[in-house]
Chains A and B, each alone.
Chain A
Amino acid sequence: MNETPSDLKFLDSHEWIKVDDNTVIVGISDHAQNELGEVVFVELPAIGDEFVSGDEAAVVESVKAASEVYTPISGEVIEVNEALDENPELVNTSPYEDGWFFKLKVSDENLGNIDSLMTAEEYSSMLDGNS
C-alpha cells in the first residue's frame, strides 16, 4: 500500500495532481491502480496537446479493461512519462512517483481552480466512505 502524499490534490475520478509553480503533474491514485489491476499499456497525450479541464487526456489499460484519465485542469502538455511505454507496471508499483502520466503548463488564472480539488485527507475519507 502506497501512502497518500499530503502535497497532492485529488479528483473524485481518482486522478492526482501535484503543483510545482506553473507546472502540474498528473497521475492516478493508489486506490485507482489497485482497482484496475496490473497495468499493461498506457496511451499518453502528445507534447503540445492542449486540454480543457475534464478532457480525456490519457488511457490506462490493465489486463481486464481500459480506463480514461481526465485532466483536472486546463493546460498544455509539456512532458509525458516515456518510461511508461516500456514499463507500464510503474503505475502499479509507484503510482505517486515513477508512475506519473504527464505534465501540463498551466496559466496563473487556471491554477486558481486547483483549490476546488480534494486534499489528500478529503480523498482518503471519500474512499473510506465508499468502502
Chain B
Amino acid sequence: MNRTFLYESHLGLGSKFVNFSGWEMPIHYGSQINEHNSVRNSAGIFDVSHMNIFDFCGVEAKEFMRYVLTNDVNKIDDGFALYSVITNNEGGIIDDLIVYKFNNEKFRVVSNCSTFDDVNNFFESNIIKFDCEFHHKPSLGILAIQGPESEIALKNILELELSNYKSFSFTEKNKLFVSRTGYTGEDGFEVIGEPKELQNIWDLCISRRIPPIGLGARDTLRVEAGMNLNGTDMTIKNNPFESNLGWVVDFSDVERDFIAKENLFEIKNTNKVKLVGILLNEKGILRSGQKIIKDDFEGEVTSGTFSPYMKKSIGLARMPMAINGNANVQIRNKLLNVKILSLPFIRKGKIMI
C-alpha cells in the first residue's frame, strides 16, 4: 500500500487509516464530526498528497488545454485556476480536475488519486498532436488548509500576504506553490511542494493547534458544499450536464474545437436528467444506491451522509428533471420523504437551503 511522506505524523496524531485507492490515508484522528466542524468554524489541515499532479510545458500548452478540457482556459489570466472535467469522445466523464495557468506555455493539473491510469492515458494519447510535454510529479505532496481562519493561520507560517490572492488564484514562493482553492466550500488554500518543505508547514500548523482533518470529514464537507466525487456522483457513463457540471462545458468560443464538442452540444440540448441535492425530512441516513421515487419516475442517491453541520441527513441524487419538490427515498423497507434542493447546502459557513 502507498503511504504519503506524512504517514508517521498521522500515526503520531492517532490517525485511524483507510485504504483509499491503494493509499493508506487517515480517515479520522478521533472524531470525524469535530474535524468537520473545525473546518466550518475555524480551520483544519489535510494531507491530500495521494492526488495526482501533472505539469505541462510547451509552446502549444494553451492550445492543448483548450482541446482536452471542456472548460476554456482562455477565460483565465496567468496566475489563476479553473475547474474542469475531461471526457471521452462520447462526453462521458473521465475525471474532474483543477488546471492552473502559469502562462500560455506552462500549466499544472491536479486530478483524483483513483483515476491515474485513465487520466495519464488520456493526456498521453492526446498530446501527440501538440508541441507540448507533460510530466507526472509523484515526488510532490499537497496540503490543504481550509476554513474561515485559514488565511490568518497560513499567512504567518508562509510569511506571505495572502489577502492579495483571490479565490482560484495562485502564487509561488521559494519552492512552494500556494493556491486559494479547496474541496470544502470554505475559504482555504492548497500548498504543493517537496516533502521536506511540506512537513515543516504541517508541523507548524499542528503546533499552532490547527487540527489535522481526515478523509472522512473531507467527504462530508464536500457533500455539504455540493461538490461531486468522481467515481461516486459521476462516472464515465455520465455526462457533465447530468452531473450538475454543465457550467464547465464552455461553447462560447465557436472557433474552439475540443474533445466531444459536438456530442456535448447535442447532449446539452436533449438532456433530461439532473444531479441535485436532497434533504431527508425524517429520521434515517441517506446512502448512495438508495432509490428515489416520485409518481412514475425514479432516481438514485449518489452520495448520502449525515451532515455534521446541519445535523440532518443530506445527499446528492441523480433523477429525471421531471422530479421536483418532494419525493420518496427507499431506505431498507421504508419510503421516507426527501426535499429536492439546488446545491450547495452550505457555502462559507452559511446554510443555503
User: Out of A43, A59, A61, A63, which one reaches B216, CB within 8 Å?
Assistant: A63
Q: A63 contacts B287, CB within 8 Å?
A: no
Select B220's contact among A59, A63, A65, A85, beta carbons within 8 Å. A63
Say how far B290's CB is from chain A's closest CB, in angstroms: 10
On whether A41 and B306 interact (CB within 8 A), knowing A63-B216, A66-B287, the answer reads yes
Encode B280-316 as 1/0 by CB contact (under 8 A) with A. Answer: 0001110100000000000000000110100001000
Residues in A whose Cβ lies below 8 Å from that of B284? 41, 43, 61
- The interface size bin for chain A is 10 to 19
Assess whether A64 is in contact with B285, with CB atoms less than 8 Å apart.
no
Chain A residues contacting B308 (CB-CB under 8 Å) are: 63
Interface residues on B, range: 10 to 19
Residues of B within 8 A of A85 (CB): 283
| A40 CB to nearest chain B CB (Å) | 4
**Residues B332 and A64 in contact, CB atoms below 8 Å apart:** no
Residue among B287, B306, B308 having the largest count of chain A Cβ atoms under 10 Å: B306
For A37, the closest partner residue in chain B by CB is B32
Is the CB of B6 closer than 8 A to any CB of chain A? no
Contact status B28-A37, CB under 8 Å = yes
A61 to B27, CA, bound (A): 17
Quick check: A38 and B32 within 8 Å, CB to CB? yes
Q: Judge if B263 is at the interface, Cβ distance under 8 Å.
A: no
Decide yes or no whether B33 CB sits under 8 A from chain A.
yes
Contact of A38 among B31, B283, B313 (CB under 8 A): B31
Which chain A residues (1-54) contact chain B, with CB distance < 8 Å?
A: 37-38, 40-41, 43
| B residues 81-132 in Cβ contact with A at 8 Å | none
- How close is B214's CB to chain A, nearest CB, in angstroms? 10
CB distance from A60 to the nearest CB of B (A): 10
Which residues of B (12-69) have their CB < 8 Å from a CB of A? Answer: 16, 27-28, 31-33
Cβ < 8 Å to A, chain B residues 189-239 = 216, 219-220
Closest to B34 in A: A38
Name B306's closest neighbour in chain A (CB-CB).
Answer: A40
Roughly how many angstroms separate A59 CA and B284 CA in the complex, as a whole number? 10
A61-73 near B? 1/0 per residue, CB < 8 Å: 1011110000000
Contact assessment for B220 and A41 in the assembled complex, using a CB-CB cutoff below 8 Å: no
Q: Could you say which residues of chain A place their CB within 8 Å of the CB of B305?
A: 63-64
Residue of B16, B219, B283 near A41 (CB, 8 A) is: B283
- Given known A-B contacts A40-B306, A59-B332, A64 and B283 have beta carbons under 8 A apart: no
Please list 6 pairs of residues, one from A and one from B, whose beta carbons are closer than 8 Å in the complex, sorted by A's number. Answer: A37-B32, A38-B32, A40-B285, A63-B308, A64-B32, A66-B285
- Mark A residues whose CB is within 8 Å of B: 37-38, 40-41, 43, 59, 61, 63-66, 85
> Beyond the given A37-B28, A61-B285, could you list 19 further A-B residue pairs with CB under 8 A, ordered by the A residue number?
A37-B27, A38-B31, A38-B32, A40-B285, A40-B306, A41-B285, A41-B306, A59-B332, A61-B284, A61-B306, A63-B32, A63-B33, A63-B216, A63-B308, A64-B27, A64-B305, A66-B285, A66-B287, A85-B283
